[in-house]
Amino acid sequence: MNVRIDDTDRKILAELQRDASQSLDDIARQVGSSKTPVWNRIRKLREAGVIGQQTVMLDAEALGFEACFFVLIRTSEHEAEWQRKFLKALQDRPEVQEAHRLAGDIDYILKVRVRNARAYDAFYQALISEVRVHNVTALLSMEEIKSTVALPL
Amino acid sequence: MNVRIDDTDRKILAELQRDASQSLDDIARQVGSSKTPVWNRIRKLREAGVIGQQTVMLDAEALGFEACFFVLIRTSEHEAEWQRKFLKALQDRPEVQEAHRLAGDIDYILKVRVRNARAYDAFYQALISEVRVHNVTALLSMEEIKSTVALPL
DNA sequence: CGTGAAAGTCGTTGCCC
DNA sequence: GGGCAACGACTTTCACG
């Protein structure tokens, strides 16, 4: 699963991150190469899983998703069975955009994007009825200052 | 800046989110329409800013970005000038993937993606030397359970 | 490993309903 | 506003330096 990635690969990845809709010729010009070699590199990076899904960023507010919460979760349960159920619950809920297992005294953090505060409450009630959690703190976002998925290559 | 979005638009957006590389014909078939109307809708949605950047998801770990921190920030300063400097510092740092201003006693949350813990410390030192913050808590991600940018349309 | 050309596919436009 | 057809541009492949 490991791939050797050289400087040209990195430039190609940076360009794809910036704008995945541009043509091979454009990318080739910007990395100082030409179509075929760039195409071969992209194919290899895709097969290696370095390049994943190709998607578009949508304006959440324009589409009515006006509330974003970060949810800090502490739990006293650490058995495999509980964790399996908890993970499945998160995967199944589309309003959960991110979920991380943490080091330290907070066990999990979620990023939850919903239409409004009521929708968050519905999510919260559903979650705690599915799995036991010891302590939940919700942080409400007032303003998205910055949002990117780009890695600083 | 407001747009009327009907059911067909929503289906198109959902398809674009799922896979932005598929052809207009494919999208048209899946939403029960044909090329031209789909293309016109996409153009309008783009012009309205509902559809933003087209990008690819890269495998952060394969590219050596092995550490991800959520940073909770409290500050005692709330003047416009301080906030301007703080925002600029966040925008200028590519390792900051997300930044939100929060309601409640924590003022800001950041998501910071870096190569390793040392790189995080370098980021942290640079940040607190640029702007005064009252209290900083870093949560270290051990495992990315879920990560998506898709909205549940 | 890069180049160039060939082939098929796709985005884009204009026209008809 | 949706569908059809045509054009040009693009992706993808392959054969040659």
At B23-46, the pLDDT tens digits run 999 999 999 999 999 999 999 999
Q: Do B48 and A62 touch (CB under 8 A)?
A: yes
Instruction: Please tell me the distance from the alpha carbon of residue B107 to that of residue B131, in angstroms, as a whole number.
Output: 14
Could you tell me the pLDDT band of residue A105, with boundaries at 50, 70 and 90?
A: very high
- A26 CA, D9 C1': separation in Å? 13
Cβ atoms < 10 Å from Cβ of A18? 15
- B114 CA, D7 C1': separation in Å? 48
pLDDT over threshold 80, residue A52: yes
Reported pTM:
0.94
CB contact B49 to A (< 8 Å): yes
Instruction: Please tell me the distance from the alpha carbon of residue A111 to that of residue B125, in angstroms, as a whole number.
Output: 26
What percent of chain A has a predicted confidence (pLDDT) above 70? 99
Let me know: does A116 contact A50? Beta carbons within 8 Å: no
A76 strand C contact, CB < 7 Å: no
Q: Do A62 and B50 touch (CB under 8 A)?
A: yes
Note the pLDDT of residue B1. Answer: 55
Interior angle at CA B147, CA A46 and CA B127, nearest 5:
105
DSSP A17-53: HH-TTS-HHHHHHHHT--HHHHHHHHHHHHHTTSEEE
pLDDT over threshold 60, residue A99: yes
Which residue positions in chain B have pLDDT lower than 70?
1-2
SS3 A61: coil
Contacts of A95 in chain B (CB under 8 A): 152
Cβ neighbourhood burial of B44 (10 Å; 0-12, 13-18, 19+): middle
Q: Which nucleotides of chain D have an atom under 7 angstroms from any protein CB?
A: 1-5, 9-15
